[in-house]
Amino acid sequence: MNVAVVGTGYVGLVTGAVFSDLGNDVVCVDKDVDKIEGLRAGRMPIYEPGLEELVARNVADGRLTFSTDLADTVRRSDIVFIAVGTPPKATGESDLTAVEEVAHGIAEALDRYKVIVNKSTVPVGTGDLVRNIIERNRRRPVNFDVVSNPEFLREGSAIEDTLRPDRIVIGAPSQQVAMTLLELYAPLERPMIITDVHSAEIIKYASNAFLAAKISFINEIANLCELAGGDVTQVMKGMGLDPRIGSAFLNAGLGYGGSCFPKDTDALIQTAASLGYEFRMLRSVVDVNRERVQRFLGLIRKVLGPLEDQVIAVLGLAFKPKTDDMREARSVELIPRLAMSGARVRVYDPVAMENARRHLSVPIEYCQSSYEAAEGADAIAIVTEWNEFKLLNLERLRQVMRRPLVFDGRNIYEPERMRRLGFEYHSIGRKPAFPN
């Protein structure tokens, strides 16, 4: 098939690369000239394991190309995926400006029947919005259909999630229209569910909101464990073995971040409000998440006392491992507060250092390794659970620190091991450990 993908962010670029790898002719289009020129030169605008190789292979085979010409790309395509950003407004609502702009562009270029697919995460009713825009602005009286096909990829495993999704959701106005998407996805041989457009739009938000609720719930349990003397990791294991609950997204820590959970929970709350419904439980989920960094900072201040001139090494800047994405990262909230309290902050992340410079304007020192960041530090704060940090030589780490003190915001170490190695160790939802 001839496929157009509008937008070359995480969703658009990965979707385009995978569809081309399945044998389709794909054009990824973006109005950002620098980004398209970079992609043509083999430079990826994002860090995603395996993406550079996947793109290079399909570009070399002639199945994947990049363009800034939306009109030409639409005319050459049978299916047009809209995969542009929908950032949150100050109110929490999704900003659909980019989606509307693309819909106008499609309308002007529409020359024959096409299937328009909303791949962006959008509130319920956006399919109707896109259809209305195209109907009002098309220059020729040709037919088209609008489909909702939400993505469920995770940054850091986006290619795997696109090639082997646990389900493919197709929200279409008719079975006949759905068959076009079924044919496109058939080589993946994965479970598919066909719904109406509105239900498909709700599925994405409902899924992310539910996972966010699991994270906030276990963080509330962690708070309780700290007061009662329990161990949240043991509680999590006991809960997670129940197949009705499962262990995924049940790890206590600094809360959720990234481009999806914060935005999607807020958007679902606002969507409900616009329909006259108050989503009280989801508001609590958001409130709990917003408290996590402040609670962690309170722990650091309680143990260290005044932070002025204290050297604190922050390990992990990205919102999660295997990505350089800094959107809603816990580090962006924690580091400025440490710096404003007078602490001297030294940071390290395996991938996100360059991106972090654009998000962190406070004076901090960027280091080339965990050990460099920890050199002469009064404390280490673990903010992102990179495997690299789990595998550190902890004896070496202790030796380079001024004070062997670790605040683990992701519970990547065992308290008893840290005690034996001579660390004072504070984590989430567990008793602190002190060296003999």
Q: What is the pLDDT of residues 286-333, one digit of tens each?
A: 999 999 999 999 999 999 999 999 999 999 999 999 999 999 999 999
Q: Identify each DSSP E strand in 124-272 by its residue range.
A: 144-148, 168-171, 192-195
Q: How far apart are CA 412 and CA 391, in angstroms?
A: 10
CA atoms within 13 Å, Cβ hemisphere of 279: 21
**DSSP letter (8 states) at residue 407:** E
Specify whether the backbone of 342 is left (phi greater than 0), alpha (psi in -120 to 50) or beta.
left
| Residue 153 confidence (pLDDT) | 87
For residues 82 and 50, the answer to whether their CB atoms sit within 8 Å is: no
Q: How far apart are CA 43 and CA 37, in angstroms?
A: 9
Rg of the chain taking only CA atoms, in angstroms: 24
Q: Domain residue spans in the chain? A: 2-195, 196-436
Tokens, residue 242: 């129940």
**DSSP letter (8 states) at residue 124:** T
Q: How far apart are CA 198 and CA 194, in angstroms?
A: 12
Which ranges of the chain have pLDDT less than 70? none
Tokens, residue 35: 């980004």
CB atoms within 10 A of CB 102: 26
Decide which of 3.40.50.720, 3.40.190.10, 3.30.910.10, 3.30.465.10 is the CATH code for 196-436: 3.40.50.720
Q: How far apart are CA 237 and CA 32, in angstroms?
A: 46
For residues 349 and 283, the answer to whether their CB atoms sit within 8 Å is: no
Tokens, residue 167: 């389900």
| Residue 121 confidence (pLDDT) | 87
Type of residue at 423 = F
Its CATH architecture, for the domain 2-195, is: 3-Layer(aba) Sandwich (3.40)
Helix (H) or strand (E) holding 5: strand 2-6
Residues marked active site are found at 260
Tokens, residue 358: 């654009």
27-65 burial, b for 16+ CB within 10 Å, e for fewer? Answer: bbbbbeeebbeebeeeeebbbbeebeebbeebbeeebbb
For residues 381 and 316, the answer to whether their CB atoms sit within 8 Å is: no
Chain centre distance of CA 283: 20
Q: How far apart are CA 252 and CA 29, in angstroms?
A: 40
3 state DSSP class of 336: helix
- Please, which residues bridge with residue 357 across strands? none
- Shared fold status for 2-195 and 196-436: yes
Euclidean distance between the first and the last CA atom of the chain, given in angstroms as a whole number? 67
Sign of torsion over alpha carbons 94, 99, 101, 107: negative
Type of residue at 304 = L
Tokens, residue 121: 């995460």
Q: How far apart are CA 305 and CA 378, in angstroms?
A: 11
Q: Identify each DSSP E strand in 277-368 by its residue range.
A: 311-315, 344-348, 365-366
Chain centre distance of CA 253: 16
| Residue 307 confidence (pLDDT) | 96
Q: How far apart are CA 48 and CA 159, in angstroms?
A: 8
Classify residue 26 by burial, with Cβ atoms within 10 Å: 0-12, 13-18, 19+.
buried
Furthest CA-CA distance within the chain: 80
For residues 418 and 434, the answer to whether their CB atoms sit within 8 Å is: no
